[in-house]
Amino acid sequence: MCCHACQPGGGNRASNTTTTAAGQGGRATRRKDYIGKQQAKRTELNQQLTALVRKRTDFIEQEKARLTKEGKGDAFDLKVGETIKEQIKRNTATKP
């Protein structure tokens, strides 16, 4: 077994380890608190991300509608859309 002497502050493993139940319980409590805080941050960030994605999608739809209305639709997007629709028709027509 490694004595962790290769790590900074290493040495005798037994002297670096808290062996009391209270010490281990304290670490477990701190770990749970830390994990809880991280989960709360992640939840908040995911909510922010969802809102931003929704805003982005709405903006793109509005821009496409505006460009289409003005007759300036993106030719590349239109061509890709047509190609995908054609492929879907071909694939669904050939399946039994």
pLDDT (tens digit, 9 = 90+) per residue, 58-78?
998 898 888 778 777 667 777
Res 3 pLDDT > 60: no
Element housing 83 (H / E): helix 75-94
In a domain, residue 36? The reply is: yes
Q: Answer for the pair 96, 89: CB distance below 8 angstroms, yes or no.
A: no
Handedness of CA 85, 88, 94, 96 (dihedral sign): negative
Res 55 pLDDT > 80: yes
94 or 28: which leads in pLDDT: 28
Alpha carbon 17 to chain centroid, angstroms:
36
Alpha-carbon gap, residue 96 to 89, rounded angstroms: 13
Alpha-carbon gap, residue 74 to 7, rounded angstroms: 59
Instruction: State residue 15's pLDDT score.
Output: 47
Instruction: State residue 76's pLDDT score.
Output: 78
Domain count, the chain: 1
Query: How much of the chain, in percent, has pLDDT values that exceed 70?
Result: 71
Look up the domain containing 70 and give its range.
Answer: 20-94
In a domain, residue 43? The reply is: yes
Alpha-carbon gap, residue 63 to 56, rounded angstroms: 10
In a domain, residue 44? The reply is: yes
